[in-house]
């Protein structure tokens, strides 16, 4: 029987590892579809940013209540999974509580600490479920935000419920184990009481020894198989940010948030036109396949990493002035649409042997509409709000750049502004020579107004 359980465990572990590897490879190849962008400078500053933002969750604490719950669940789940090492070794070796003998009296203290964390995870996840229920936090309501309808709302509830089930399985396993220890059952060596499960131990004391062994084994398998399933499921879920928040914050852009990236080829042409730069003899003209971005492969790899890292928390959308006034723009939807399109392209590549084939769809048009893009005021509120330094605005600007420069589709007022910029070097329609006439008007109207 022990050999059979070891074989079954090895199959489960190998299957989970294989599925994780395949999924991780698919995500990595999908992100590599993006254009090159060098974000390797200032490594010490980047590492500090990662520690503050991803590890210490500094930006989360702009909203202390949610941040405290998130930290409780995050730290609890991560530290509890350290116990996974013992469970995996128990499964492979056919042992039971392998570390109990070597740790001695410290073992029940360690397990009690894990149980306190598990209790915190249950409390945190339960509150998060209530926050997502109808009438809860506005930014988490599917009725209010169309991008949350269907799978996104279900995904959040599934992952929270799964975490609660895993923690309950842990308590059941420990409590039934304690009863079996007290009866001197072979294979269940005495370890001493555990802080939380000792309180629920009376619920199991009326069961027969055979039934208790079955309960303990079912809880053990449910806990470990649940963790394996959780690990695989996370890679398909918004909770992938648990892992990707660290590289995403490390590779975040260190330039000021309001600074837009110019297109070097266009910048050079403008500088040549204005006489600010001299043309290099015999240099061929710059070739541009596309201005801006139409599909995910036109974006940078960092944009694609951003999309996979999105937590769907909605802080960006709740801070967006365009969204607050009822316009269609939702920065969270921009990130979710980018990820959904990238997933579609990645699946197509996987089915075609790793080759990207045109499918007649694109991010712009099939997922994100022009109305959404034009609603953006480029105020950077969404960028400022994101707890893991995602930049929805950069994707918006690149898609809008394609509509304006490649398809020549811009509102009439924009075209007038562009023309004024080209002819007058200002957004307004007056001669550059008259640019400072307003100062004379102010001086004449308000003689006491300071001129500096």
For residue 178, give the CATH number of its domain.
Answer: 1.20.950
Kindly state whether residues 212 and 269 are assigned to the same domain. Answer: no
The per-residue pLDDT for 451 is 53
Do 244 and 327 share a domain, yes or no? no
Question: Is there a single domain that holds both residue 244 and residue 307?
Answer: no
Q: What local confidence, expressed as pLDDT, does residue 286 receive?
A: 56
Number of domains in the chain: 2
CA 183 to CA 173: how far, in whole Å?
16
Phi, psi angle pair for 368, to nearest 5°:
-110, 130
> Which residue blocks in 183-208 are alpha helix, DSSP H?
197-200
More confident residue, 4 or 209: 209
Q: Out of 91-100, 333-342, 418-427, give the one with best mean pLDDT.
A: 333-342
The domain that holds 357 is classified in CATH as: 1.10.1060
Domain check: are 198 and 330 in the same one? Answer: no
Instruction: Give me the mean pLDDT over the 69-87 stretch.
Output: 82
Q: Which residues contact 154 (CB under 8 A, 6 or more apart)?
A: none
Rounded CA gap, 11 and 34, in Å? 36
Asked, for residue 49, whether it belongs to a domain, the answer is no
The dihedral region occupied by 57, where left means phi > 0, alpha psi between -120 and 50, and beta the remainder, is: left
- In the predicted model, is pLDDT for residue 449 greater than 90? no
Task: State both tokens at 42.
Answer: 């200032």
Distance CA 376, CA 322 (A): 6
Does residue 21 lie in a domain region?
yes
Specify whether 197 is located in the same domain as 318. no
- Which segment of 93-102, 120-129, 236-245 scores lowest on mean pLDDT? 93-102
| Percent of the chain whose predicted confidence (pLDDT) is above 70 | 94
Q: Give Cα separations from 203 to 10, 197, 216, 362, 406 (angstroms).
A: 32, 10, 13, 57, 69
DSSP state at residue 62: G
In a domain, 136, yes or no: yes
Whether 269 and 222 map to the same domain: the answer is no
- pLDDT(343) > 90: yes
In a domain, 205, yes or no: yes
What is the mean pLDDT of the segment spanning 8-22?
93
* Per-residue pLDDT, 430: 75
Is-contact 120 72, C-beta < 8 A? yes
The full DSSP string for 385-450 is H-TT---HHHHHHHHHHIIIIIS----HHHHHHHHHHHHHSSSSSS-GGGTTHHHHHHHHH-TTS-
The answer as to whether 303 is a domain residue is yes
Domain range enclosing 350: 264-274+289-428
Band of residue 27 on the pLDDT scale cut at 50, 70, 90: very high
Which of 284-288, 318-322, 346-350 shows the lowest mean pLDDT across its residues?
284-288
448 burial (CB, 10 Å; 0-12 / 13-18 / 19+) is exposed
Residue 277: per-residue pLDDT: 74
pLDDT of residue 407: 81
Domain contains 258: no
Residue-wise pLDDT for 248-274, tens only, equals: 999 998 988 778 888 777 787 777 777
pTM (2 decimals)?
0.86
Highest mean pLDDT: which range of 92-101, 225-234, 352-361, 434-443 = 225-234
What token pair was written down for 178?
A: 């304690």
């Amino acid at each position: 029987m022990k050999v059979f359980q070891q074989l079954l465990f090895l199959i489960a572990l190998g299957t989970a590892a294989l599925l994780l590897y395949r999924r991780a490879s698919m995500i990595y190849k999908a992100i590599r579809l993006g254009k090159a962008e060098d974000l390797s400078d200032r490594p010490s500053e980047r590492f500090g940013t990662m520690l503050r933002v991803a590890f210490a969750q500094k930006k989360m604490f702009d909203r202390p209540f949610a941040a405290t719950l998130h930290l409780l669940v995050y730290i609890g789940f991560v530290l509890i999974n350290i116990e996974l090492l013992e469970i995996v070794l128990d499964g492979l070796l056919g042992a039971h509580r392998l570390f109990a003998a070597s740790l001695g009296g410290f073992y029940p203290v360690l397990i009690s600490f894990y149980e306190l964390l598990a209790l915190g995870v249950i409390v945190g996840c339960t509150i998060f479920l209530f926050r997502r229920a109808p009438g809860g936090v506005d930014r988490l309501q599917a009725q209010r935000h169309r991008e949350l309808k269907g799978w996104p709302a279900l995904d959040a509830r599934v992952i929270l419920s799964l975490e609660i089930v895993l923690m309950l399985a842990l308590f059941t396993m420990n409590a039934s184990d304690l009863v079996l220890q007290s009866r001197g059952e072979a294979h269940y060596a005495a370890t001493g009481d555990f802080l939380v499960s000792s309180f629920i131990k009376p619920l199991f004391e009326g069961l027969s020894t055979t039934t208790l062994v079955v309960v303990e084994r079912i809880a053990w398998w449910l806990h470990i198989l649940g963790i394996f399933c959780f690990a695989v499921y996370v890679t398909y879920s918004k909770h992938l940010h648990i892992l990707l928040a660290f590289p995403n914050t490390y590779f975040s852009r260190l330039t000021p948030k309001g600074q837009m990236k110019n297109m070097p080829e266009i910048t050079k042409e403008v500088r040549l036109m204005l006489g600010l730069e001299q043309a290099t003899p015999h240099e061929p003209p710059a070739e541009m396949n596309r201005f801006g971005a139409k599909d995910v492969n036109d974006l940078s790899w960092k944009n694609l990493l951003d999309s996979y890292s999105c937590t769907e928390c909605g802080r960006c959308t709740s801070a967006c002035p365009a969204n607050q006034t009822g316009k269609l723009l939702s920065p969270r939807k921009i990130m979710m649409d980018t990820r959904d399109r990238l997933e579609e392209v990645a699946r197509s590549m996987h089915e075609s042997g790793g080759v990207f084939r045109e499918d007649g769809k694109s991010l712009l048009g099939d997922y994100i509409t022009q109305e959404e893009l034009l609603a953006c005021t480029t105020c950077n509120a969404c960028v400022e709000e994101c707890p893991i330094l995602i930049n929805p605005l950069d994707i918006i600007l690149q898609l809008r750049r394609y509509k304006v420069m490649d398809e020549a589709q811009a509102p009439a007022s924009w075209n007038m502004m562009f023309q004024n910029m080209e002819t007058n070097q200002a957004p307004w329609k007056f001669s550059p020579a008259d640019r400072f006439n307003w100062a004379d008007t102010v001086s004449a109207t308000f003689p006491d107004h300071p001129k500096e």
